[in-house]
Amino acid sequence: MDAPAIPLGFGPAAQRDLRGRVLRDLRISVVDRCNFRCPYCMPEDQYPRDHEFLSKAERLRFEEIERLTRIFATLGVHKLRLTGGEPLLRRDLPELVRKLAAVPGIDDVALTTNGSLLAPQAQALREAGLQRITLSLDTIVPETFRRMSGGRGEVGVVLEAIAAAERAGFAPLKLNVVVMRGTNDDEVLGLLERFRGSGHIVRFIEYMDVGTCNDWRRDLVVPSAELRARIAARWPLRELEPNYGGEVARRYAFADGGGEIGFISSVTEPFCGDCSRARLSADGRLYTCLFAGSGHDLRGPLRAGIGDAELAGLIRAVWSAREDRYSELRSEATSASREHVEMYAIGG
């Protein structure tokens, strides 16, 4: 492989988009398949068992992901998040983690997973250099969990995965809860009761209009302000400072010392202003927004033998032309475009 043409010794060049936002984070979807069928992401009726996902040849190989990561790192990326589909469906994921954690300039490698396949791999992921895990857990009520995984998941398996991740040294974990009105919003306090005091950070995500197949309706969104008020009525909260600029979650602490929670409010409190995230799909497309209609193909040039300097130039050109602020525009739009990439393709 060619050495990157950008001199590493001077540190990564900050890439700014048209709104002055730097490129700092890369979310890598390693596979578009999933063993769950969450109604807000990949509803069962839209993705029957014979749905055609990417073939092995269409997916980026580990070496290709590593090469792209090296180039992204020269452009300022220092945080990676592996996601999917369900990333642990990709065989030998620890091997990929090991390669990516060794890339100069990358100082944080995280994983988002539904937890169903995590327990047996948690230790290997830790040893490979994975630093943080976010687990999706919408409810601890077994029947609701089953429904919200499209009849595929068991909450007990995810709770066991949490214990395995703790044993492997990943605590504190982040626990993502997508809240849908009438489905799991009444179970939020029970979930908090369970995790208050555990050190894990529960984060409530507003149900978003990602993709085209989840029949999103605004009345199914529970605004974070409403949820926060419900929680605060039981356990008073105080707001915390962000950990860093561009953090997507607003952080709160239980006033009684019960720990931290967060709210990701893309619908009611958009945070496009300092969005520093690029997304790479499993087939090597670069997306500059979660709600983008299309991505920029990097796999084609990669497999056609493009050099590192040209590849870096290509990525730089895409980022410099970036204007995305979908969430901010959503509220203004009378009829939002439905030409969005699917969530399972780029991983949230």
Q: Which residues bind ligand SAM (CB under 6 A)?
A: 34, 40-41, 83-84, 86, 112-114, 136, 176, 178, 205, 207-208, 210, 214, 343-344, 347-348
Query: Per rule CB under 6 A, is residue 84 in the interface with ligand SF4?
Result: yes
Q: Which of residues 316-345 bind ligand SF4 (CB under 6 A)?
A: 324-327, 343-344
Q: Which of residues 153-212 bind ligand SF4 (CB under 6 A)?
A: none
CB nearer ligand SAM, residue 26 or residue 311: 26
Question: Edge-to-edge strands of the sheet including 25-29?
Answer: 237-239, 250-254, 260-264, 201-206, 174-179, 132-136, 108-113, 79-83, 25-29, 277-280, 285-287, 296-297
CA distances from 81 to 110, 234, 259, 265 (A): 5, 34, 24, 20
Distance (Å, whole) CA 236 – CA 220: 25
User: Rounded to the nearest whole angstrom, what is the least distance from the CB of residue 37 to ligand SF4 in the complex?
Assistant: 6
User: Rounded to the nearest whole angstrom, what is the least distance from the CB of residue 8 to ligand SF4 in the complex?
Assistant: 28
Pick what 121 binds: ligand SF4, ligand SAM, none; C-beta below 5 to 8 Å, kind-dependent: none
- Size of residue set near ligand SF4 by CB under 6 A: 24
CB nearer ligand SAM, residue 15 or residue 83: 83
Closest CA relative to residue 208, chosen from 342, 70, 28, 27: 342
Distance (Å, whole) CA 347 – CA 280: 9
The residues near 156 (Cβ < 8 Å, ≥ 6 apart) are 142
For ligand SF4, the binding residue among 85, 211, 259, 284 (CB under 6 A) is 85
| Selected range binding ligand SF4 among 62-70, 79-87, 165-173, 215-223, rule: CB under 6 A | 79-87
| Selected range binding ligand SF4 among 160-168, 195-203, 254-262, 286-294, rule: CB under 6 A | 286-294
Pick what 113 binds: ligand SAM, ligand SF4, none; C-beta below 5 to 8 Å, kind-dependent: ligand SAM
Distance (Å, whole) CA 210 – CA 267: 11
CB nearer ligand SF4, residue 41 or residue 168: 41
How does DSSP classify residue 257?
S
Closest CA relative to residue 101, chosen from 121, 122, 126: 126
Pick what 204 binds: ligand SAM, ligand SF4, none; C-beta below 5 to 8 Å, kind-dependent: none
Task: Find tokens 């602020």 and name the residue.
Answer: 325
User: Rounded to the nearest whole angstrom, what is the least distance from the CB of residue 136 to ligand SF4 in the complex?
Assistant: 6
CB nearer ligand SAM, residue 23 or residue 343: 343
Asked if residue 301 has a cis previous peptide bond (ω within 30° of 0), the answer is no
Annotate 143-185 with DSSP letters as a single string: HHHHHHTTT---HHHHHHHHHHHHHTT-PSPEEEEEEBTTTTG
Distance (Å, whole) CA 146 – CA 344: 19
What does the binding site for ligand SF4 look like in residue numbers (CB under 6 A)?
34, 36-38, 41-42, 84-86, 114, 136, 271-272, 275, 277, 289-291, 324-327, 343-344
